[in-house]
Chain A
């Protein structure tokens, strides 16, 4: 969309005559190529040769969405009118008809074309979109087992992408989509005798393990923490977890954050801790809840324990604003629940607020508002 992280370079005037000539030639070549593709598409010449021309353009400029559209028109044409499969592309899985095989060949080769582009331009929306479109096309043209194999390969691709860039939100969105599709195209589909398909097709357990793996390799990976917070409620539902199992899960997650908070500047950890705390609220929606039968007494218990744990951090970290922020925030909610006041006093809260004002002047407006709203 725009240039990010590109250092400023010499302006136009500084270009030598030769460099200028070279650039003009490049422009001419590019503009010619665009005109050639446009002309062919306008005349509905949806040939493999024109497809190759769009490849040439897209390698140079993957942001040109219209060229991606042209590419889809060409592919669509071939999906509808598949050429007779050549002898070389003999199907491995004999279940495919000749025309299905040629559709599969087109899709596989286009998916392959996208891989180096994704690696080079991991933030380009259009490349990810085209990939999803290809896979959706496979659903309408190919047998379920083949479709499933394609999606299966996507899971390993997106795993590799996320290893390269652990926070790429296109990557995480794509992972959620791939998982949803794999659940949809599960092999157990169509077996009328399978009594509980939801449990057989769900990947929530393996995805939960995946977030653990990503978190273990980098406790600061907020994207993994985020995904985890979305998976846990579903995981518990699918396990048909009872009240005790739910509490055990919540405790385990709180313990995990304790490990992460060894580095008190780990923002991801604090946000995750905050999201666990928010599940304690009576206003927490069912789809986000972990423990379902919390009484106010339980709530106070959790607040008291977590407040004590965070307070303990003050022994070692007196200049970390996150500690004070968490204390103040949780104390405010704690006071609301059952007028709890055992775990903290107003004097303490006032002290935490002063520390925040001292340590974090950028957000002084926020701390001043909190001072007023809490009557500190």
Chain B
């Protein structure tokens, strides 16, 4: 199985919006299932470099929609294992290189399918191997993590590393205190966090930094009122959320912003119902999937983050998502 990624193709008429504001569950399930069958579209091939993450996003969406079996488990597992490289990292797809981003997706899928033991049976010492790959990417001096052997660092990788290691039960392999120190160095006076020390606060980076602190059990370091204030200002009058002051709204921030608010107990500082309205308007009612803004092309990335945003704000009928 090698599937589920890349923009799908959306509705027929330009900018067609859902006629009624409800969640088109069946359409979304069909949309996600169809992503594997799009090999006759150039886009399918142009998105191979994020296939494993695409699979994770699709599976998560299906879990939240209450249809975890809509993709065949054994084929998913086979594909995940086919992405494992000799160095213990996962690549986006076979024939690609290991990278932190896909290693995290690989581990997340294994955990979601409750397949970590099975993974160890099929790949001897698999869990440990993967954990070591991740641990080796920690920078001993600064505590931050590189994405791969080429060395680029980013708080996205730091969060991913802690997340995957905690799923594997092996955070002991890294220096968590150093990692926390690095997160602190990325903090800004507005309460938010940037991608590296000195960088401007950005909702995506806030999520990775707060998520990392949550995993490390150090949420005490967050100025909740200040950060909650900054995050709540991300909501615009149309109900959507942006990632930084004076930028456009986008469905993917429904996840970054809302889960961060949930982690610091400030979820009630934005309007959940207005956000739900905005997300529902971004659906493609005919072919399924959710886009960044109403009328735009859907893709699996915005589909999962839209559904996760709905789940976090307690939209009826969805499985509750864990904000971390």
Contacts and interface: CB of A to CB of B under 8 A. Distances in A.
A271 interface: yes
A60 to B, nearest CB: 7
Interface string A74-88: 000000000000000
A193 B200 CA distance: 38
B19 interface: no
B42 A7 contact: no
B314 interface: no
Given A64-B49, A366-B228, A6 B246 contact: no
Contact of A172 (B9, B16, B199, B235): B199
B190 A1 contact: no
A3 B190 CA distance: 29
A220 interface: yes
B237 to A, nearest CB: 7
Contacts of B49: 61, 63-66
B247 A8 contact: no
A375 interface: no
| Most chain B CB inside 10 Å of its own CB: which residue of A4, A132, A361 | A4
Interface stretch (B91-99, B105-113, B135-143, B173-181): B91-99
A334 interface: no
Interface in A2-55: 2-12, 14, 20, 23-24, 26-27, 30-31, 34, 38
Nearest to B235: A362
A275 interface: yes
B89 interface: no
A201 interface: no
Contacts of A125: 152, 154
A8 B229 contact: no
A66 B85 CA distance: 13
Interface string B175-201: 000000000000011100001101111
Contacts of B250: 4
A296 to B, nearest CB: 20
A30 B42 contact: yes
B41 A12 contact: yes
Interface stretch (A223-231, A236-244, A310-318): A223-231
A8 B97 contact: no
Given A8-B10, A12-B41, A27-B42, A278 B189 contact: yes
Chain B CB within 10 A, most for which of A2, A288, A363: A2
Given A30-B46, A65-B99, A173-B199, A3 B291 contact: yes
A198 interface: no
A220 B246 CA distance: 8
Nearest to A279: B189
A4 B9 contact: no
A155 to B, nearest CB: 17
A14 to B, nearest CB: 7
Interface stretch (B20-28, B61-69, B293-301): B293-301
B271 interface: yes
A176 B198 contact: yes
A361 B272 CA distance: 12
A5 B296 contact: yes
Contacts of B40: 12, 20, 23-24, 27
Contacts of B169: none
B281 interface: no
21 contacts: A3-B292, A3-B299, A6-B296, A6-B297, A8-B9, A8-B10, A8-B296, A64-B48, A66-B92, A133-B150, A176-B199, A220-B246, A222-B246, A226-B200, A271-B245, A274-B190, A362-B271, A363-B232, A365-B270, A366-B269, A369-B268
Given A3-B299, A66-B92, A169-B202, 15 more contacts: A3-B7, A5-B292, A5-B296, A11-B12, A27-B41, A34-B45, A61-B46, A64-B48, A66-B49, A169-B199, A222-B244, A222-B246, A278-B189, A362-B274, A363-B235
What 6 pairs across the A-B complex have the smallest Cβ distances? A365-B268, A2-B301, A8-B10, A366-B269, A6-B297, A66-B96
